[in-house]
Structure 1
Amino acid sequence: MKKILLALLLLGATAGTASAQVEIGIKLSPSIAYLRADSPGVSNFKSEKSKLGIGGGLVVDYFFGQNYAFGTGLQLTSKGGTISYSGFDLNNEQKISLQYLEIPLTVKLFTNDITTDTKLYFQLGGKIGGVVAARIDGDKFYQGNERSRKHFIIPDAALLGGFGAEYQVGQSTKVFAGLSYHHGLANIDRYFDNDVTIKNGEVALDLGIKF
């Protein structure tokens, strides 16, 4: 984590000497999160309900061409959902809430102005991160015993795709709004047997400002 923060600080320092190439900002992302649960056996794991969440953090766009940028940052994201299953001596439904600290690794493509000071953008790539907090049925400790976070594998990775619009409101200030889809790639379950897979999914509204 210290290495990640150091890298972002170095990006910020670079922005001071190459402001024409690096844009830094913040964003807020209300989202609908869900879990993709599956198992081949009689336990019949499946997704039941999505959950509303909110996340946000630092946005860094490093431009390597007039309309092309490498998009990264550091963001806190809310994930989870409700899953159901059978065949265990436990409750057959779990409401799971997860928080991740994530780093996007994407390419952002910008159009020329479609109207005065307004561009469209398209974003494609992935993100990596790790779970920093978890609750099962609203509790940090599962059934009063071990921490809920221990039921989940810490690292996660996802594909990311999105689009939106960016509007220039000042000499170096821009606001943006867009939609993004996040498709989890890793099985995050470490509690059930090896045949069970639980993966994250998320659709987010991205609202932000760059300075």
Structure 2
Amino acid sequence: MKKLFLTLAALAVAPAAFAQVEIGLKVSPSISYLRTSSTSATSFQSESSKFSFGGGIFMDYFFGENYAFNTGLFLTGKGGTISYLDRNPLSMSQLPGTRVEQKIAIQYLELPLTLKLFTNEVAPATRIYFQVGGSLAVPVQSRINGEKYYTDPYDNNNQTSASSHVLPVDANLIGAVGAEYQLGKSTKFLAGLSYHHGLVDFDRYFERTRNFSDVSIKNSVFSLDLGLKF
């Protein structure tokens, strides 16, 4: 019994022996695009991507020599250009609608909750890491076609805030790979690539205001992650 107790105590103390917090800053130039789906009547399509520049502060909490919980707070740019078939809601015509493009730009405040797995040194002072998990985000600024307000194309007196077109929460799956290089006793440089797969249909305009059916618009982002740990 005594040996069992000592074994359990050792297992409980082991993570604390590795517990270490590393804090850093990261910048992330990124390419984002919008994944769309809809019925053939409106035929939503993704047309082009959007370049953004984000960044913020992050923390790696090591609970083992090669394992860390990662979180932080980031400003992240998302969006892209979509197109769809539009028809005057006052018209009784059954002719196909006109294809219209709309450029959507959203800036999010994002909280990642991920696990980072590190290899042993693959070169002097260099380790590879793999990162998996998710994130929660809230939009802090939105623009439609470069403007904070969107004018109804069929009613110039009807303006809506671009932020009202976007659901006030987003969730993402995150996958990343990169490398860390030890620059000094407590300073590390990191570089990696990450993909953020949006899980939430953020549209609050086409179905609610235009009465389109079964429209889904979701975010996708590819980022180059560059950072320093202190």
Please report the TM-score for the alignment, with normalisation by the length of structure 1: 0.88
Contact kept, 8 Å, 2:18 with 2:62, in 1: the verdict is no
Q: In angstroms, what is the RMSD of aligned CA positions?
A: 1.7
Task: Tell me, in whole angstroms, the C-alpha distance in 1 between the residues paired with 2:44 and 2:79.
Answer: 15
Q: CA deviation at 1:198?
A: 0.2
**Equivalences for residues 100-115 of structure 1 within 5 A:** 100-115=108-123
Residue 166 of structure 1: how far off its partner (Å): 0.2
Q: How many angstroms apart in 1 are the aligned matches of 2:34 and 2:163?
A: 16
TM superposition score normalised by structure 2: 0.81
Which stretches in structure 1 are left out of the alignment for 5+ residues? Answer: 1-17
In 2, Cα distance between equivalents of 1:136 and 1:198: 14
- Identity score, percent: 57
The structure 1 residue matched to 2:173, chosen from 156, 159, 165, is 159
Q: Deviations over 1:35-64 (max 9, x none)?
A: 001102410001000010010001110001
AA partner of residue 38 (structure 2): S
Aligned twin of 2:7: none
State how far apart, in whole Å, the 2-side matches of 1:156 and 1:43 are.
24
Letter in 1 for 2:132: L
Match of 2:38 in 1: 39
| Superimposed CA distance per residue, residues 154-187 of structure 1 (whole angstroms, 9 cap, x where no aligned partner) | 1000100000000011111101000000100000
Q: Which runs of 5+ in 2 are unaligned?
A: 1-16, 89-97, 152-157, 208-212
Structure 2: how far apart are the matches of 1:141 and 1:87?
Answer: 19
Name the CA distance, whole Å, in 1 between partners of 2:125 and 2:46.
43
Matched length: 194
Larger radius of gyration: 2
How far residue 87 of structure 1 moved from its aligned partner, in angstroms, is 3.1
